[in-house]
Amino acid sequence: MMKTNRQLKAKYEPKAEYLLSGKLFCAKCGCTMKGISGHSGGNGEVYRYCACSNPQCRKRNIPKDDLEGKVIRSICDHLLQPETMELLAETMVEVQKADMEKPNAERDVLEQELRDVRRRSKNIMDAIETGSSNPQLVARLDDLTQQENTLTYQLSTMEAEKPLLFTKEQYLFLLQQFYAQPTEQDDAYKRRLINTFVTNIEVSDSELLIYFNISEETENKNKNAPQLNFDKSSSTEKRLVRVARIELTAS
């Protein structure tokens, strides 16, 4: 009877949420890692782990709660600090300004087409003024006028669709919304932290590498700031430029 009760308890154990799903990769083989669970033979207690999805890989399983806890603490310790948030807010303002100043290929094409249309319209009007008017020229001028109106409207629409620009204070306010006391750090809060600040995580048997969602512009700005415990990544991907390295102890 006792054995049956333990089996029922395990069978109806609530399904766990693996907060690192989709962002966790095995450093040995590069495959994604998945959540698995097992039960103690003695008391039926549930144990949850993150394991490599490659059945041929021999990487050891890592306890789920331990791994998630290290990631959350790393985010809080390295990014949710007053000095770092000030730096991030300042850099976000600089990055959005740089983005606004980048060439817009679509707008450049429309502006060139508009210049060409206006040039052709002027040539026709010059011909009409010199007495070379004919029905074909008038019809062509009407067509060019419609093209000019369409292009002008498209350009004005692009100007109206420019993204909102945030101030440093507004960015800082948004970052401060991630502050939470330990008792307030439920799974929903942790998931939001991970989705916002982490691009991916690599796990070996000895260390954990957390790739933060920090742009190259932010890293360059950070060179003049107090140094944090980060290692530089050798990756050329723009968003994989700052890495937190955490040693893992064998369990």
Query: What's the pLDDT tens digit per position in 165-210?
Result: 889 999 999 999 898 887 888 999 999 999 999 999 999 999 999 9
CB 149 within 8 A of CB 121: no
Dihedral sign, CA of 83, 77, 234, 194? negative
What angle (nearest 5°) sits at the alpha carbon of residue 119, between those of residues 117 and 120?
A: 65
**pLDDT band (50, 70, 90) for residue 16:** confident
Q: What is the pTM of this model?
A: 0.64
Backbone angles phi, psi at 49, to 5 degrees: -135, 165
- The token duo for 226 is 């107090």
Q: What is the mean pLDDT of the chain?
A: 81
β-strands 24-26, 198-203 pairing: parallel
Q: Encode pLDDT of 100-155 as tens digits.
A: 777 888 888 999 999 999 999 999 888 888 877 788 888 898 999 999 999 998 98
Rounded to an integer, the average pLDDT of 211-224 is 62
Domain layout of the chain by residue ranges: 1-80+187-251, 83-177
Show the tokens assigned to 116: 């060409």
Check residue 207 and give its pLDDT.
93
Taking each helix axis from N to C end, the angle separating 105-129 and 135-160, rounded to the nearest 10 degrees, works out to 150
Give alpha helix (H) positions in the chain: 2-11, 64-78, 82-101, 105-129, 135-160, 168-176, 187-197, 216-222
Minimal CA–CA distance to 115: which of 142, 151, 139, 146? 151
Inter-residue long-range contacts of 112-119, CB under 8 Å, 24+ positions, other chains counted: 113/147, 113/151, 114/148, 114/151, 114/152, 114/155, 117/144, 117/147, 117/148, 117/151, 118/148
Point out the least confidently predicted range of 15-19, 47-51, 238-242.
Answer: 238-242
Percent of the chain with pLDDT over 90: 41
